[in-house]
Structure 1
Amino acid sequence: MMGERTVMQEALFYSFRIEDHVPGDHLLRAIDRFVDLTGIREYLKPFYSSMGRPSIDPELMVRMLIIGYCMGIRSERRLCEEVHLNLAYRWFCRLDLEGSVPDHSTFSKNRHGRFRDSDLLRKLFEMTVERCMAEGLVGAEGFAVDASLIRADVHRQRSVSGEEGLPPEAAGRAVAEYLEVLDDAAFGGSTPVPPKRINITDPAARWTAATRERAFYAYSTNYLIDLDHAVIVDVEATTAIRQAEVLAQRRMIERTQDRFGLWPEKLVADTAYGSAPNLAWLVEERGIEPHIPVFEKSARNNGTFERSAFTYDHEDDSYICPGGNRLRRSNRNFSTPRSGIDKDGSIRYRARQQDCQACALRQRCTPNIPARKVTRSVHEGARDLTREITASDAFLVSSRQRKKVEMLFAHLKRILKLDRLRLRGPNGAKDEFHLAAAAQNLRKLAKMKPMPGLATA
């Protein structure tokens, strides 16, 4: 017999609890255990007026932002719609069925105002780090650092040559933020070389061709992670060049030590962080073992002897060439002693011209110039220590562990959908990177500390 559709009739009373309709294994249930925002109102109290109408609850907005970044919802307009319709989202935001969802424009107004003035999103991220430490997920024996390019929200064609600079008609919040950070070493002051192109919409975004794709405008998100469980212990937004990324590594290590008291024994990174000044900073100032390939520029492709063929004599402060002759800082005495250190922090050791002329190995050593020269960094001691570490078995283990930070970047772009920024300007990049790193730490907590009574995969 053919059935008939039952026409819905409105009941006078409903017995309904959102709690009963959120699955026990829902991701937000697992995350909610680690979200404690009881101190948010007190923290933001100085940034609210004591007069006027009550504002939107800041805890509600923060919980909605956590949902957006944990679930990969990139649009705040769509986020408001999802929270309005989804029972699990309402439960996480502490909204009942009749609770009203704030308008999407509320987020923009608070972000450009009290959220940035109070550095709230930075505090939110640090709260997740503290919770990871309390749960025993941070060992602090070894850290890894790396950076990844995130596309800026700009159009390629709205740009001018870097030598010309910004046109007089360029205006907007992103332009004002760019002018404020021109002297910041993480952005405009990181290098004296002018950028090839400057985008009018977001001048702080850097034109880069560091990937196999076509060149694009981007920011760099820098992660400092603990190697035990790949917890992000610090995050920094910079312009997309190597000098700024190395500076971000130093800032993150210093901030982690000051804020959380974490002193790692070793730091794992790729060759971009293997410059002599950076290795000396890690070894001599911070006492950290650099598990980093040394950045070498002494390689030769013409078949002549490389610098590694010359032996350094510490007692005599000279190099011995393959032919047995010595290379010194100077082969004559000066009435006024000279340091022999160049502006780039390197020392040049020179062989005597008569020694090279009579040497049987001259064609394999210096066929085109009268005498051979060898440069040595003033930080060569840190470089030598790093070379010893990279030749050990421990470095092989560190090289495999370094992939953990790369996996976090893949998760950031593929799962959290942050392959392109939605906000503009340096502050917009900071906001997005802080929220994304906080979301990744919360998801890490939910994975490593499963709900009691639930079977784990």
Structure 2
Amino acid sequence: MAAEGEQMMGQSGGTQDRLFYSFNLDDHIPQGHLLRGIDRYFDLGDLRQQLAPFYSHTGRPSIDPELMIRMLVIGYCFGTRSERQLCEEVHLNLAYRWFCRLDLEDPVPDHSTFSKNRHGRFRQSDAFRLVFESVLRRCMHEGLVRGEGFAVDASVIKADANRARGVPGAEARKWRDDGTSTRAVREYIEALQLENPAGDDEQPPSSPPKKVSLTDPAAQWTAASGGPAFFAYSTNYLIDLEAGVIVDVEATPALRPREVEATKTMVDRVERRFGLKPGRLVGDMAYGIAPMLSWMVKDKGIKPHVPVWDKTGRKDGTLSSSEFQWIAQSNEYRCPEGHALRCDRRTFTVERDRVTRADTVIYRASHHDCAQCSRKQQCCPNTPMRKIARSVHEDARDVARQLADTPEYRQSRRERKKVEMLFAHLKRILKLDRLRLRGLTGARDEFLLAATVQNLRRMAKRLSSPELVPA
């Protein structure tokens, strides 16, 4: 009976292995898959030639750079941060194999070999910058970059560093490379030597940070509002407001002055490499400091759609400097009572430019005018006369204040949300809320890859068919 039951159930393929089979990966990838849309606009044809000098002609064959980049694009696109897991996913997933140009029989690189290639040979080649810029050129070719208006912002990303393992910054300045240091520590020591080539430990060129990580010393000790402090880097985005395409990205320690300076680096680089210079630049108040506004207005000819960083307003009920009238023709202020505040009331034996270390010029009222004024208690109750510190960049600040009253400025404030949405997408969808690589170069590599993937996804979803599968 058992034999009869087995005969009734039967076996569809027999017990012998098939000698031949026909299997086409392309037939098994849905037409609406996200990777199909990305592949349509992703071209690495020139990468191998550009990386040829970085290949070794002896020893074990290197990983094809195109394969490595395509695997990394998959990892960052779908939030697979582990290199071991990424290699396993590419081995098992048909869509991933198809995107990587791997057939069913083709081997997937071992995760250790993959890591050595990623962190060794290709880091020195600036390959990730080349890939990012090639994708940006394709965005420009497809009409997604207008170049009329840019927005800039920064987002803090946690470093791969234990917040409990740190030393005071002054102690870290004494570090020396003994040949056993990690790459992140070597980079930090080299940066210190560039900052202080004379090796003067008693008078360092800048104040040391409060705390330095033992594993990733370039990361900045910082704290979010209401949360505990941690080590972090900042990813700085410069985006085109037409379609939210990222036109440049820069990694910095999570320090506001470094973030602001990164804006100049990015704007200059985009102009130099792509011939793009915006007519307006949108940012939050952090970018509204006087030197930055002067750089935009005077050096670059860009309209600053940025709130002015102004701390001159008084909260004690006395008169703020904004209530004084500036008269450029006579180089003086006039108080509400009509008295003049001048910068040349004090005479010097040697002529001076009267500019302070804070890049301001001090304008003073007459002691006699203030003593006789009926509004002295409302103006300067604690000093003999009223003084106003005017920034040497005040003309640029005035330009920004005038632009703040225009409809174009209000539109720019609404459009600025596009860069904030990119940061939310970076952390929630791509899952880049904590770095896996250490050092400033590691942060730069991760931020470049993530920005590249965001631009690819933007192209795929805006230019492909509407039934594209979100992933």
Q: TM-score, normalised by structure 2?
A: 0.91
Q: Which of the numbers 159, 165, 169 marks the counterpart of 1:162? A: 169
CA 1:64 to 1:295, structure 2 compared with 1: closer, same or farther past 3 Å?
same
Alignment partners' CA distance in 1, 2:189 and 2:427: 29
How far apart are 1:335 and its partner, in Å? 4.4
- Asked if 1:441 corresponds to 2:455, the answer is yes
The reply to whether residue 304 of structure 1 matches residue 311 of structure 2 is: no
Equivalent in the alignment of 1:277: 291
Deviation at 1:6, TM superposition (A): 6.0
- Between the aligned residues of both structures, percent identity stands at 56
Q: Which residue of 1 aligns with 2:373?
A: 359
Assess if the C-alpha contact under 8 Å between 2:426 and 2:432 holds in 1: yes
In the TM superposition, residue 172 of structure 1 has moved relative to its aligned partner by: 1.3
Letter paired with 1:231: V
Structure 2 equivalent of residue 63 of structure 1 = 70
Residues in 1 aligned to 2:25 and 2:194: alpha-carbon distance in whole angstroms: 49
> What amino acid is the match of 1:212?
G
Matches within 5 A, 1:211-360: 211-360=225-374
Q: Which residue of 2 aligns with 1:152?
A: 159
Which amino acid is the alignment partner of residue 418 of structure 2? K
Q: Counterparts of 1:121 and 1:184 in 2: how far apart (Å)? A: 25
Runs (5+) with no aligned partner, structure 1: 186-190
CA RMSD of aligned residues (A): 2.2
Residue type at the aligned position of 1:419 = D
Is 1:382–2:396 an aligned residue pair? yes
User: Which of 75, 80, 94 matches 1:87?
Assistant: 94
Deviates most, 311-320 or 323-332: 323-332
Determine if contact 1:351/1:372 at 8 Å carries over to the other structure: yes
Any conservation in 2 of the 1:160–1:166 contact (CA below 8 Å)?
no
Range with greater deviation from structure 2 (205-214 or 419-428): 205-214
Unaligned runs of 5+ in 2: 196-204
Kindly indicate whether residue 195 of structure 2 is the aligned counterpart of residue 195 of structure 1: no
- Residues 120 and 278 of structure 1, relative CA distance in 2, 3 Å threshold: same
Contact 2:150 2:238 in 1 (8 A): yes
Following the alignment from structure 1 to structure 2, what is the Cα–Cα distance between the partners of residues 301 and 216? 33
Describe how 1:16-165 pairs up with structure 2 within 5 A.
16-165=23-172
In 2: Cα distance, 1:390 partner to 1:193 partner: 36
| 1:232-288 CA-partner distances (Å, limit 9, x unpaired) | 000000011111001100000000000000010000000001111110001111000
Letter in 1 for 2:344: S
CA contact (8 A) 1:166 1:200 kept: no
Distance in 2, Cα, partners of 1:6 & 1:292: 73
The superposition leaves residues 295-323 of structure 1 with CA deviations (integer Å, 9 ceiling, x where unpaired) of 11102111100010100111100000112
Q: Which residue of 1 aligns with 2:417?
A: 403
Residue 52 of structure 1: CA displacement? 4.1
* TM-score (normalizing by structure 1): 0.94
Distance 2:379 2:58 in 1: 80
1:370–1:120 Cα change, 3 Å:
same
1:317-355 alpha-carbon deviations (Å, 9 max, x no partner): 000011211000022444433211101210100011111
Distance 1:161 1:54 in 2: 45
Deviates more, 1:51-60 or 1:222-231: 51-60
Q: What is the distance in 2 between the residues matched to 1:183 and 1:128?
A: 36
Greater displacement, 170-179 / 79-88: 170-179
Whole-Å separation in 2 of the counterparts to 1:370 and 1:166 = 46
**Secondary structure of 2:308's aligned partner:** coil
- The answer to whether the Cα contact below 8 Å between 2:235 and 2:249 also exists between their aligned partners in 1 is yes
- What displacement does 1:107 show? 2.7
The question of 1:394 aligning with 2:394 is answered no
C-alpha contact 1:450 1:456 (8 A) present in aligned 2:
no
How many corresponding residue pairs? 451
